[in-house]
Structure 1
Amino acid sequence: MPRLKVSVIVPVYNTGQYVDECAPSLLGQSLPADEYEVIYVDDGSTDDTLDRLEKLAAGHPNVQVHTRPNSGWPGAPRNLGMEHARGEYVQFVDHDDKLGTEALERLYEHAKRNGADVVIGKMSSTMVRPRRLFRHTVDACTIENDELMQSLSPHKMFRRAFVEEHGLRFPEGPWILEDLAFVTAAYLKAERISILADYPCYYWMKRDDGGNNTRHRFNPRHGFWSNCRTVVRGIKDGTTPSDDIDALQNRLLHRLYHVEVLSRAREPEILREDPAEQLPRFEAARELALEEFPPAVREGLPAVSRVRAGLLESGDFDGARAFAEHVRAVKARTEIGPLRWEDGRLAADITLDLLRGDGEPLVLVERNGTWWLDPELLDGVPGADDGYEVRDPFRLAYAEIVVKDRDREDWWYPEGDLEVRLRPAGDGRSRLVASGRLRIDPERLAGGGPLGRGVYDVWAFVQLLGIDRMVRVTGQGTPSTPAAGPALTGGRLALPYWTAGGQLALDLDQRLRRFGPDTAGAAAANDARAGRSLPLPYVTAASGGRVRVKAAVSALTVTAELVPSTDGTAVRLRLPARLALPAGRHPVTFPKADAPVAYAVVSDGALLRLEGPAYVAGPGRRLLDTVVGDPRVRRVRRRLGRSR
């Protein structure tokens, strides 16, 4: 029996139908079934979950089922699963999530190639925004890469010997933040951590019944604050304290402060919850912030986050709510230039900035060589009459383009970076903008490979001054119209367009948007004298080489060729010289297209020429076609040929 490479550990409790929805992704892995095992641990379910699990195990030799009394949280079932695991690596999966088909095989190979203690696979999700941690695959890093703190869920692959060597276990019982405790401890102990970003490994799915544990994550009755304190102290025990805001300990604590603590003092939570309920949370967060987080953590925050932190730590609940009202109204704006195809990429200049609630740009005001936060954000905030100095406008600022696969929930990052800079706005004011080039290469975007057939929506994420926004990339084009001309890429048509909501999208291989009416006008300009091939000037040859497409001619289908020119700037349509068609003028269309891109003039099975859709033959041309196609004329020509 081959050595087991991976043990997949799945804690379950009253999972019901979600067992059947998750199981195919675990049992249909590309890794051979005798090289991995799936260990389900039932935490005292009271529904039919155990029956479903036992049926799975009966039909699959690599499935184990273990049971235990209910513990109230996933930590104890995961620990029991590790006790039974035999794989070289363990991969944790929640019962309502899914794995990509090649996830285990790719993660294991990446782990072995790099000798990794921990491997973080790219996550796709219906619940959270994309993480820039997954921009690039990383062979090996350590906790010094503080972007690891963006991913603290347990859905990773861990070397089992590493886990045993350091005695890593999940806290048991109803212990909120058990995943943070386990993962941060693993990060601190690991000598090599790998990131696999070129394949979607883990799909973190939103349950229709709202039963995901993450939806009930904040519950003070289950020890949220004491547990958070435990995680913070674990990080402090494993790192060296420092007054430097960029020291490792302060960078690692930044995530916990920002997400678990400062959330109690910012939108949407402080505005959404009843003040009578939120005020105790606010006070508990303040106590934790003052007692456990060094001042350098707060000092290392960007300007808006530092204002929030100051209001929290001073206990100013009303001020925090007033400030949150102003910040909630801030929106991100995208400005995009003309779109065009360049070297196989859909390209345009793009700029992002922030607008206040009144629609005016969010600005910084210069006073005596220093920058001060936009006064409009501080209006009505107690103690802010003199303004708020912004020591470093670029602190933790960045922006990026992300492309979402609408069908698969995958996020991909186009090449290139956006630059954040200050742009003068007049009267001693400036605004922070992020600008650069949008470049979308359909043949290389999906982890260095081609995108699958589908629709891809273009988004941007921007974080400026501590305000982060996910925004649709929009332009000045009319909704539901082309954003640029179609392109031939990898043998498929790529159709950029503006959605009904005005967002930039790319339809690849006519998933929803068909080629036809939008290009009929351009198609009419084709040269009718081109012979057996016809230029398609409105289609860009985004990828080189000869490709084949199906072209429907009348009721029959023939194989046509789309041949890019040597310089990649044009495409020509070419049909075979002989066609099993009656004499006449036959429309040529792309698969699933609505309008013809050409007409084939056929006589006696021979292709006489291709014409543009709007071409109307004159009397001379029609007479010539008739003569050439007349059988009597052909017999005379054959006799003349024999008599020579």
Structure 2
Amino acid sequence: MVKVSVVVPVHNGGHYLDDCAPSLLGQSLGPDAYEVVYVDDGSTDDSVARLEKLAAAHPHVRIERIANSGWPGRPRNVGIELARGEYVHFVDHDDLLGPQALERMYELAVRNRSDVVLGKVSSTMVRPKSVFKRTVESCTADNFQLMETLTPHKMFRREFLLEHGIRFPEGPWILEDMPFVIAAYLKAERISVLGDYPCYYWLKREDGGNNTQSMFTDRHDFFGNLRHAIRTVKEGTEPGERQNGMLHRLYRAEVLQRVSEGEVLNLEPQERQRRFEAVRAIALEEFPPAVRDGFAAVTKLRATLLEEGRLDSLVALADRIRQVRAHTEVDGVRWQDGELRADVRLSLLRPDGEPLALVEQGGRLLLDPELLKDVPGVDEWEVEDPYAHAYGEFIVKDRDREDWWFPEGELDIRLEPLGEGRSRLVAAGTLRVDPLSLKGGQPLETGPHDVWAFFQLLGIGRQPRVGGPAAVPGEGAACGPALVGSPARIAIPYWTKGGQLAVDMDERLRRLGTELAARAGAAVGPRPGDGRATLALPLLSAGASGRLVLEVRVGKGPSAQTLPAFITAGVECTLSLADRIPLPDGRHPVTLVTATAPKAKTPPFAVAVLRRGRVVRLQEPGAPAPAPSFTDRARGKVRRVLKRH
């Protein structure tokens, strides 16, 4: 039985087809359980030849050629008709699937009898979506977060699509995915979200071919197609709270985006006026007033200025908002209960560096007058509900893989007084990164992981680095390294050169030996009778068990000895190595050699004191040499006497 049909529309895909194909052909679901259906939309390059080569080598690959239709809608519809799978998953030819994507999504779908399954998206095109924060077994379109992801890169039950006649608009139709996905959301009895595994990699092309820079050309009726998407919501819902909740995203992200700082400030005056008039007509004709009334303060101000026809005010407001920046404060970075924790506060600063304030006046809260100073016709703006749509969350990015994870830790929204009737909104809370479970319940991968936050206050959203340039004077340790997991692994928190909090797993960038040398601990003598010398290390055990096996290099130059050793995780982590080493009496530096960084040059983190080939003491590098014992003093006296005679 074919469980899943992967439908891939293709037009002049070139080498991106070869880049994408391995992720489609190597799925853990197994070649007998799924098929890949390429639908070529009249390519004029060598795409067909590339596809035929794939099909010849892989029996579960099929190719269908059609006359050029001008956009992916028709090829996807053809794919739905040709598909033999129980479910259909749409993939663009320049994107990638995670190796277990189809298997995991299909299992979730079958378990819940889902009509639609959303797989976690990792992207360099858009910020991480909190809809993928956790796996949701079953929900409906009443979960308004679903409207944050309207791309077609999802899994749909094929019979569900056929039964309800859900198809993509065909021809050169920009935004063709919106009405399709919205219709599916509205008709679906059960929708599932897979949040604990990266299923779809939506990556920006180096040639910019998959961005939206061309969607406003004369060839595309962007605003007419946007109306179609809006009406899909209105036709599928009754007026009221549910409809308004679904329309909220379309007004905010598709309409107001055209008159916000990300776009309106970069347009030539004629194009700016054209887009303004088009979105104003949509705002006035398509959205009930209650949608605007539910916005946060700044968002509602934009909507009001748009509907009143005040383009000059919108441009001035966009210029002011563009200059508002995030302010982060990070304290108390520490390991606690197996987690990396930090106390974080996030707020907004005006262009002059002062807090973005709310001003109490006559029993009302007003938006900071300094923010509105240069906005024509806006003398004041009341903030009816400062907490409306205000929220914050932490995000951890796997720097090597473009994967984003949402750690534990709530950011509470607080209204803090500034004095003289002024106050500010703050998102504050404790970051909690568990290296053993952050990756969808699994341990983090090897490599650096950067800590970010996203927060929105008063309708102004920012995604700052957790830390910021003022966190530390430069790159350095954030707190001590830790052992995590079983077998034990190395986790090293540090500040990047830009002052961002990060965690390096398994010494991809940072070195345990260097960290230990900078934090040398107290000396411990050899344990009696066990034939090993031990040293307490400035290393925590954060949920680790067992031993970390490694090697140490004792001494310098050609005579240095490389010896097996291990670090034992516990309340106090200790290094243990053989207490007999064939080196001369004296003090010998000890450096670390780990399996993850075997050739790394690190400073000594300890000194081995040897007498007659035996380690009598391991101590930190800066510790003074031990005073000679009575026996040593007697032996030395005898040697000096014999030498004179």
- What is the TM-score with the length of structure 1 in the denominator? 0.91
C-alpha root-mean-square deviation of aligned residues, in Å? Answer: 2.2
Instruction: Supply the distance in 1 between the matched residues of 2:171 and 2:562 (Cα, whole angstroms).
Output: 65
Instruction: Supply the distance in 2 between the matched residues of 1:622 and 1:130 (Cα, whole angstroms).
Output: 68
Please tell me whether the aligned partners of residues 365 and 374 of structure 1 are also in contact (alpha carbons under 8 angstroms): yes
Q: Which runs of 5+ in 1 are unaligned?
A: 628-644
- Among 92, 99, 103, which residue is 1:105 paired with? 103
Distance 1:256 1:99, change over 3 A: same
Instruction: Supply the distance in 2 between the matched residues of 1:281 and 1:599 (Cα, whole angstroms).
Output: 71
Residues 290-334 of structure 1: per-residue CA shift (max 9 Å, x gap): 011111111111110111111111111111111111111100111
Please tell me whether the aligned partners of residues 583 and 601 of structure 1 are also in contact (alpha carbons under 8 angstroms): no
Partner of 1:620: 628
- Among 597, 603, 612, which residue is 2:605 paired with? 597
Letter in 1 for 2:314: A
Residues 164-205 of structure 1: per-residue CA shift (max 9 Å, x gap): 111111110000111001100000000000000001110001
Instruction: Supply the distance in 1 between the matched residues of 2:609 and 2:579 (Cα, whole angstroms).
Output: 11
Partner of 1:487: 482
Residues 202-253 of structure 1: per-residue CA shift (max 9 Å, x gap): 00011111111544334454111111111111111111102xxxx1100100
- Deviation at 1:556? 6.1
Q: How does 1:198-277 map to 2 (within 5 A)?
A: 198-212=196-210, 214-219=212-217, 221-242=219-240, 247-277=241-271
- Among 457, 460, 478, which residue is 1:467 paired with? 460
Q: How does 1:436-475 map to 2 (within 5 A)?
A: 436-474=429-467
Instruction: Supply the distance in 2 between the matched residues of 1:604 and 1:112 (Cα, whole angstroms).
Output: 70
Point out the more displaced range, 480-489 or 508-517.
508-517
Q: Residue 25 in 1 paired to residue 23 in 2?
A: yes
Please tell me whether the aligned partners of residues 44 and 69 of structure 1 are also in contact (alpha carbons under 8 angstroms): yes
Instruction: Supply the distance in 2 between the matched residues of 1:517 and 1:213 (Cα, whole angstroms).
Output: 43
- Deviation at 1:622? 12
Distance 1:604 1:77, change over 3 A: farther
Letter in 2 for 1:345: E
Instruction: Supply the distance in 2 between the matched residues of 1:257 and 1:137 (Cα, whole angstroms).
Output: 27
Partner of 2:153: 155
Residues 433-476 of structure 1: per-residue CA shift (max 9 Å, x gap): 01010111111111111101110111111101110011111153
- Deviation at 1:382? 2.7
Partner of 1:400: 393
Residues 545-579 of structure 1: per-residue CA shift (max 9 Å, x gap): 212221233566544322223xx3x2111235677
Instruction: Supply the distance in 2 between the matched residues of 1:321 and 1:146 (Cα, whole angstroms).
Output: 30
Equivalent residue of 1:332, what SS?
Answer: strand
Q: Residue 587 in 1 paired to residue 585 in 2?
A: no
- Deviation at 1:381? 2.1
Please tell me whether the aligned partners of residues 525 and 614 of structure 1 are also in contact (alpha carbons under 8 angstroms): no
Equivalent residue of 1:306, what SS?
Answer: helix
Residues 326-360 of structure 1: per-residue CA shift (max 9 Å, x gap): 11110011101121110111112110000011101
Partner of 2:355: 361
Point out the more displaced range, 451-460 or 611-620.
611-620
- Deviation at 1:100? 0.7
Q: Residue 284 in 1 paired to residue 278 in 2?
A: yes
Q: How does 1:8-407 map to 2 (within 5 A)?
A: 8-212=6-210, 214-219=212-217, 221-242=219-240, 247-385=241-379, 387-407=380-400
Letter in 1 for 2:149: S
What percentage of residue pairs aligned between the two structures are identical? Answer: 55
Instruction: Supply the distance in 2 between the matched residues of 1:88 and 1:213 (Cα, whole angstroms).
Output: 31
Distance 1:260 1:509, change over 3 A: same
Instruction: Supply the distance in 1 between the matched residues of 2:428 and 2:45 (Cα, whole angstroms).
Output: 54
Residues 565-602 of structure 1: per-residue CA shift (max 9 Å, x gap): 3xx3x2111235677x6666572414235123335567
Equivalent residue of 1:170, what SS?
Answer: coil
Please tell me whether the aligned partners of residues 4 and 37 of structure 1 are also in contact (alpha carbons under 8 angstroms): yes
Please tell me whether the aligned partners of residues 43 and 67 of structure 1 are also in contact (alpha carbons under 8 angstroms): yes
- Deviation at 1:479? 1.3
Please tell me whether the aligned partners of residues 513 and 591 of structure 2 are also in contact (alpha carbons under 8 angstroms): no
Please tell me whether the aligned partners of residues 528 and 615 of structure 1 are also in contact (alpha carbons under 8 angstroms): no
Equivalent residue of 1:311, what SS?
Answer: helix
Instruction: Supply the distance in 2 between the matched residues of 1:621 and 1:424 (Cα, whole angstroms).
Output: 65
- Deviation at 1:113? 1.0
Distance 1:621 1:428, change over 3 A: same
Q: Residue 476 in 1 paired to residue 471 in 2?
A: yes
- Deviation at 1:422? 0.3
Residues 100-155 of structure 1: per-residue CA shift (max 9 Å, x gap): 11111111111111111111010001121111111111000000000001110000
Distance 1:231 1:526, change over 3 A: same
Residues 383-416 of structure 1: per-residue CA shift (max 9 Å, x gap): 312x111111111100111111110001111102
Partner of 1:409: 402
Instruction: Supply the distance in 2 between the matched residues of 1:556 and 1:118 (Cα, whole angstroms).
Output: 61
Instruction: Supply the distance in 2 between the matched residues of 1:606 and 1:216 (Cα, whole angstroms).
Output: 74
Letter in 1 for 2:412: E
- What is the TM-score with the length of structure 2 in the denominator? 0.91
Partner of 2:523: 526
Distance 1:121 1:621, change over 3 A: farther
Instruction: Supply the distance in 2 between the matched residues of 1:101 and 1:388 (Cα, whole angstroms).
Output: 51
Q: Residue 497 in 1 paired to residue 494 in 2?
A: yes
Residues 454-507 of structure 1: per-residue CA shift (max 9 Å, x gap): 101111111011100111111532211111111111212211111111111111
Please tell me whether the aligned partners of residues 271 and 325 of structure 1 are also in contact (alpha carbons under 8 angstroms): yes
- Deviation at 1:608? 5.7
Partner of 1:544: 544
Distance 1:240 1:611, change over 3 A: same
Instruction: Supply the distance in 2 between the matched residues of 1:625 and 1:551 (Cα, whole angstroms).
Output: 34
Partner of 2:504: 507
Instruction: Supply the distance in 1 between the matched residues of 2:383 and 2:220 (Cα, whole angstroms).
Output: 38
Equivalent residue of 2:237, what SS?
Answer: coil
Letter in 2 for 1:596: P
Distance 1:318 1:33, change over 3 A: same
- Deviation at 1:31? 1.3
Distance 1:551 1:287, change over 3 A: same
Query: Paired residues, what number?
Result: 616
Please tell me whether the aligned partners of residues 546 and 561 of structure 1 are also in contact (alpha carbons under 8 angstroms): no
Residues 28-66 of structure 1: per-residue CA shift (max 9 Å, x gap): 111111111111111111111111111011111111111
Distance 1:33 1:325, change over 3 A: same
Instruction: Supply the distance in 2 between the matched residues of 1:414 and 1:229 (Cα, whole angstroms).
Output: 37
Instruction: Supply the distance in 1 between the matched residues of 2:114 and 2:634 (Cα, whole angstroms).
Output: 75
Q: Which runs of 5+ in 2 are unaligned?
A: 555-559, 636-645
Partner of 2:421: 428
Instruction: Supply the distance in 2 between the matched residues of 1:358 and 1:22 (Cα, whole angstroms).
Output: 47
Partner of 1:642: none
Letter in 1 for 2:573: V
Letter in 2 for 1:510: E
Please tell me whether the aligned partners of residues 517 and 606 of structure 2 are also in contact (alpha carbons under 8 angstroms): no
Partner of 2:641: none
Letter in 2 for 1:396: H
Equivalent residue of 1:309, what SS?
Answer: helix
Distance 1:534 1:68, change over 3 A: same
Instruction: Supply the distance in 2 between the matched residues of 1:332 and 1:379 (Cα, whole angstroms).
Output: 20
Instruction: Supply the distance in 2 between the matched residues of 1:148 and 1:41 (Cα, whole angstroms).
Output: 28
- Deviation at 1:84? 1.1
